[in-house]
Structure 1
Amino acid sequence: MDSSNQSSQPSNSNHLFDELRWVIQIRRHLEESTEDDHDIPVTIFKVPKALRVSKPEAFVPQLIALGPYHHWQPELYEMERYKLSAAKRAQKQLHGQKFQQVVGHFIKLEHITRAHYHRYLDFNGETLAWMMIVDTSFLLEFLQSYAPEEGKVLRRVPSRMSHLVDKAGRKSAHNMILRDIMMLENQVPLFLLRVCLEFQCSSLQEADDVLTLMLNGFMRALCPFKMMQNFPCIDVTRHAHLLELLYYILVPKPEEQNCEVIDIHEDQNDAGGSIDQTNNDDSSHIKQFFNASWTAASGLNGSYLEDNHQSASVLCLEKPVEYLFLLWKTSANSKTENSSSNQNISKQPLIEEIMIPSVRELVNAGISFSATKADMTTIQFDLKTVTLYLPTVKLDNNTEVILRNLVAYESSLASGPLVFTRYTELMNGIIDTDEDVKLLRERGIILNKMKSDDEVAKLWNSMSRSVRLTRVPFLDKVIEDVNKYYSSRWRVKTTKFMKKYVFGSWQFLTFLAAILLLLLTSLQAFCSVYSCARWFNPAIIGQ
């Protein structure tokens, strides 16, 4: 009894300690947070589970942790020595000021830093400040390699970091850091980079100029769209973090788009539901006719056939007709049972692929593709020239992580259209195989720096998952116009008819075989009653 009581005492004391710690944190937060942070939007989120489950490694840093979300992960702690080395070099650039002064300034900005993160940060103010200044020092040293040579930069990349930093992207470690830097959960607020640079420069304006040069070079190298013309000017004071800045460059401003957002429900039908319903409606009248005919035939009295003076021919016709109606009734019932049994399986709360033909099918229908050197606002379908315009997108080993995290950031916003997600769904819809990728690559729409076209096809086909459905008018108009033109082609109409009513329906082929069997049996019954030799013998004799 004594031992059990003693063992329970530590757990109770730990529980009381946690409660006291919570009370102290809440009291300190309410007393010290005198400034209002309601105007600071949350911009750094945890990735939604619906997106994370498809490919977790695309959202969890693999080499370096930046910010508080993944700071204590043991597998990422090896990079701490490089971050500390970067902080030491940054300390030498403070122009006589002490590093503690920078930390004190970061502590004063604690409430603003916390406001950017969606999840509660279980760190005290000083710990958070030291963490952020170390991570910020490393991030600035990494970004400076992208500043143009003719521009003003702080210093050259040190030899200790030479095996990690490579602007040309030839080193695997550089690409791993690049992917980790662009992950949603690994973001650091940009205003902290401005503060850190301000201590290293003579003025805030000079710090903004240096940071702008870094970010401009970094975004030009990183941007998936090859926007050679009208690359947007970067205002470092308007953006929250690197991923949000890239999103702003790629996606039109939300206020310029009139879009509608629709939440996904469990009972929402997928995109192919309307087609299945149409098929059922088309065959309903035929089913009703055969069912009614079979019911009427089944109700006939068998004595009628026995008393009929043409019983021989009628009895010969009885079996084929009975087989025909039974075959149709069995196939109809089987189709109904299969559709009802698969109803729960096909009903999934996921966004299905956009209903649009593949690139190969569109090209065969006479639609051309043309590349644009701008953002997604240039996506359009010109009916006069029958040309679909798409922005040129560069795909390499880093692109998939960047695209997935852009989708995650867009999905995490409280409101607004999923414009970028809609674009990925469009590319997923028109790309099915490596042949589709090859056609787009030959037309300059895809710049493939991956191993093969098949890898590019798998990349787009794996990005069909979303958290909610959005209607984006200018993209939906393009999809609607392309489908309308494609469906209007006679070749397409003929192909659809053959697939739907002939090759795609074994019941139809069985029905034709039964009709042929009925005709042959009827001919045999007719010849058994009436001699057919007088019609066929003269022809044989004549030969």
Structure 2
Amino acid sequence: MTSNSNPRFDELRWVIEIRRTLDEELEEDSEVPVNIYNVPKTLMAAKPDCYVPQEVALGPYHHWQPELYEMERYKLAAAKRTQKHLQRVKFESLVDQLNKHEPRIRACYHKFLQFNGDTLAWMMAIDASFLLEFLQVYSIKAGWLLTRVSSRMSHLVDYAGTKSAHNAILRDMVMVENQIPLFVLRKVLEFQFPTLDQADDMLRSMLAGFGEDLCPFRMKEDLTQVHVEEQAHLLDFLYHIIVPRSKEPSEIIEVENEDESKEGKEGSFGDSSYVQQLFQIIWNLLSTSNQGPISLLKRLLSSDPVKVILKLPWKIIFNLPGFSILKRPVEYIFFSQKKEESNPENGNSNSNSNIIKPPLIEEIAIPSVSKLYKSGVRFLPANGSISSITFDAKMATLYLPTVSLDVNTEVTLRNLVAYEASNASGPLVMTRYTELMNGIIDTEEDAKILRERGIILNRLKSDEEVANLWNGMSKSIRLTKVPFLDKVIEDVNNYHTGIWKVKAGKFMKRYVIGSWQLLTFVATVLIFLLMTLQAFCSVYNCPRMFRVTTDL
């Protein structure tokens, strides 16, 4: 029987772990910050497959998932090969050493780990052995493999024998919830090399090859010079070679969930109540005057024919071809103001008007690539990563970093954004970059233009897949101000709105097309008066009243 089948045993073990954890003291809490998180629910709900490992579990969060058990035998095989190359010690000695660092390991994880110390230490040792053996292929690719371990790589393990399996494991390795502290990897390598410096050289070479292969941007830095002791885990390393560490505090704005619009479901002008409101508005306007013509109209509105008009099936009438065009203008003119006054959330008061809510990621206001291209904006690849994004207004040129898109890119980008949002140790640069790309790429035509300019290196099947990739990344839990990217967005918008073609289009929309509302309103009033006159004449015999001869 396992402990999982005995709830009482689990409770006792939990109490023991809590007591032992409280008795243990770290040197300084600040030295071991939390850096391995759970993916925020809003992101997980968007596309779970991008955040939940599909092949291999690394670390405690997904260790007991039955669908990942198949990889356990490959982990054990890697641990056996690691045992052969330990420096005159047994594998159990490595586990004992990791057991001494149990408080530090637990401190890295945001979620409470319901494992005892021995279980956690064995898990870390086996998973680290598997991960290091997998990463050695990058050290070979980069040409930096130390002579001491060159003979070991003659073993091409079958789990990475195909490109698809290799990519599947790669995607699992960069997931937020599938990380192992990097100091654990250093500790395992330290048992295999005479000195810590040699172990760091080996780990540095692995990380450099891993970063060059998986990073979607072209890197100018020499990754072999990275300080491995400053990296928390693989995803943290990948994030900081793309977004350099910032010492400035982040100005984060929480995004509130807003209810979906109910327009069209209620308050339609087709309802008879709205027709009655229309007559009520006209009556209120006329009631302020007692002049002759006005008095006549007041009597007209209170007459029996008008009451008949109010009972007509207006919902059906306004859906007819000739009347449907009149529905929106009349509804907008007569009732939009009333709706705004009755809805306090619209910010009618001065106090509410000063409250600026952060826009949702879908609401980032920037023209698409095709619109910018038609207005004369050029697109050129920038030398560098995200920090190299600029807009030259004089040359009308937008510089964007070259991004390589393949089967691993979406998972990599999504987990970088999730890690950034969870960590929140600086400005959310990756989030803002994905918002920018989401804003300027709407269709495959936009993706095609960027591909032809060398900004997108498309290793997917089509430009449509590229557009779907960026448009699919539309979920964010918070927004932040990133000054250099916000400045680019502002400059692009200012340039685009300053083009005479755009100005002419806005002029037409505001003063020509916009005047159509006034024309339709006039037509509506005329039709209404004619219908009223017709109903009036059918009752009171207008020809005889006005002495009009109908004979030809």
What are the equivalent positions in structure 2 for 1:52-71 lying under 5 Å apart? 52-71=44-63
- 1:99 alignment counterpart: 91
User: Is 1:244 aligned to 2:236, yes or no?
Assistant: yes
In structure 2, which of residues 128, 144, 148 is the aligned counterpart of residue 151 of structure 1? 144
Name the residue aligned to 2:319. none
Q: Is the 8 A contact 1:225 1:373 kept in 2?
A: no
The residue aligned with 1:318 is: none
Residue 20 of structure 2 is aligned with which of 11, 28, 37?
A: 28
1:117 equivalent in alignment to 2:136: no
Shift of 1:98: 1.0
What RMSD over aligned residues (CA atoms) do the two structures have, in Å? 3.7
In the aligned structure 2, how far is the partner of 1:399 from the partner of 1:114? 30
Correspondent of 1:165 among 152, 160, 163 = 160
Task: Report deviation, 1:382.
Answer: 1.1
Q: What 5-or-longer segments of structure 1 have no aligned partner?
A: 1-12, 271-290, 308-322, 519-543
The residue type equivalent to 1:389 in the other structure is: Y
Cα gap change, 1:380 to 1:496, in 2 (>3 Å) = same
Post-superposition Cα deviations, 1:116-136, rounded to whole Å, max 9, x if no partner, equal 100011111111111111100
Cα distance in 1 for partners of 2:281, 2:338 equals 20
Q: Which residue of 1 aligns with 2:386?
A: 376
Counterparts of 2:510 and 2:232, CA distance in 1: 52
Deviation at 1:263, TM superposition (A): 2.0
Tell me, in whole angstroms, the C-alpha distance in 1 between the residues paired with 2:190 and 2:515: 72
Number of positions where the alignment pairs a residue of Structure 1 with one of Structure 2:
469
Deviates more, 1:85-94 or 1:328-337: 328-337
Q: Is 1:44 aligned to 2:27, yes or no?
A: no
3-state SS in 1 of match to 2:160 = coil
Asked if structure 2 preserves the Cα contact closer than 8 Å seen for 1:91 and 1:98, the reply is yes
Describe the superposition over 1:73-132 as per-residue Cα deviations: whole angstroms up to 9, x where unpaired.
000000000111011111111133111111111111111111110001111111111111
Q: Conserved in 2, the CA contact under 8 Å of 1:59 and 1:401?
A: yes
User: When the two structures are superposed, what TM-score results if normalisation uses the length of structure 2?
Assistant: 0.76
Asked if the contact 1:351/1:468 (under 8 Å) is kept, the reply is no
Give the Cα–Cα distance (whole angstroms) in 2 for the partners of residues 327 and 48 of structure 1: 41
1:254-311 C-alpha deviation (Å, 9 max, x unpaired)? 22x57522222457999xxxxxxxxxxxxxxxxxxxx99996667676954999xxxx
**Alignment equivalent of 1:494, drawn from 488, 504, 507:** 504
Check conservation: 1:110, 1:125, Cα contact below 8 A. Answer: yes
Alignment partner of 1:356 is 2:354: no
Q: Kindly state the Cα deviation for residue 21 of structure 1 after the two structures are TM-superposed.
A: 2.8
Matches for 1:269-288 after TM superposition, within 5 Å: none
Q: Contact 2:32–2:108 at 8 Å: present in 1 too?
A: yes
Mapped pair 1:262 → 2:253 = yes
Whether contact under 8 Å (1:370, 1:444) holds in the other structure is: yes
Do 2:208 and 2:224's aligned partners in 1 also have CA atoms closer than 8 Å? Answer: no
Shift of 1:373: 2.9
Letter of the 2:143 counterpart = E
| 1:128-161 CA distance string (max 9 Å, x none) | 1111111001101110001146322424676775
Using a 3 Å threshold, how does the CA distance of structure 1 residues 236 and 503 change in structure 2: closer, same or farther? Answer: same
Distance 1:326 1:247, change over 3 A: closer
Question: CA separation in 2, counterparts of 1:34 and 1:305?
Answer: 87
Q: Do 2:249 and 2:426's aligned partners in 1 also have CA atoms closer than 8 Å?
A: no
| Alignment counterpart, residue 458 of structure 1, candidates 452, 461, 468 | 468
Instruction: Give secondary structure in 2 for the equivalent of 1:184.
Output: coil
- Structure 2 partner of 1:332: 333
CA-CA distance at 1:344 after TM superposition: 8.8
- Give the whole-Å Cα distance in 2 for the aligned partners of 1:128 and 1:187: 14
Deviations 1:183-217 (A, max 9, x none): 00000111111111111112111111111111101
Q: Could you say what secondary structure the match of 2:110 adopts?
A: coil
2:399 is paired with a residue whose SS is strand
Structure 2: state its 5+ residue gaps: 262-279, 297-322, 347-356, 529-552
Distance, in Å, in 2 between the alignment partners of 1:394 and 1:326 is 50
Letter in 1 for 2:333: A
Shift of 1:402: 0.5
1:7-56 Cα deviation digits (max 9, x unpaired): xxxxxx96765543333222222334464444211100000101111111
- The answer on whether the counterparts of 1:42 and 1:116 sit within 8 Å (CA) in structure 2 is yes
User: Could you tell me which of 420, 423, 426 is aligned with 2:433?
Assistant: 423
Letter in 2 for 1:434: E
Q: Residue 366 of structure 1: CA displacement?
A: 1.1
Separation in 2, partners of 1:35, 1:259: 28
Alignment match, 2:129? 137
CA distance in 2, matches of 1:342, 1:219: 52
Of the structure 1 ranges 381-390 and 392-401, higher mean CA displacement relative to structure 2 is found in 381-390
Equivalent of 2:402, from 366, 371, 392?
Answer: 392
> Quick check: 2:414–2:473 contact (8 Å CA) kept in 1?
yes
Q: Percent identity?
A: 55
Distance 1:510 1:157 in 2: 81
Q: Evaluate the alpha carbon distance shift between residue 86 and residue 329 of structure 1 in structure 2; reply closer, same or farther with a 3 A threshold.
A: closer
Aligned to 2:304: none
C-alpha contact 1:164 1:171 (8 A) present in aligned 2:
no
Deviates more, 1:226-235 or 1:204-213: 226-235
**What is residue 510 of structure 1 aligned with on the other side?**
520
The answer to whether the aligner puts 1:442 opposite 2:437 as a matched pair is: no
Deviation at 1:179, TM superposition (A): 0.3
CA contact 1:268–1:349 (8 Å) conserved in 2: no
Stretch moving more, 230-239 or 90-99:
230-239
Query: Quick check: 92-101 or 82-91, which moved more?
Result: 92-101
Which string of whole-angstrom CA distances, capped at 9 and with x for unpartnered residues, describes residues 149-179 of structure 1? Answer: 632242467677544326xxx6211111000
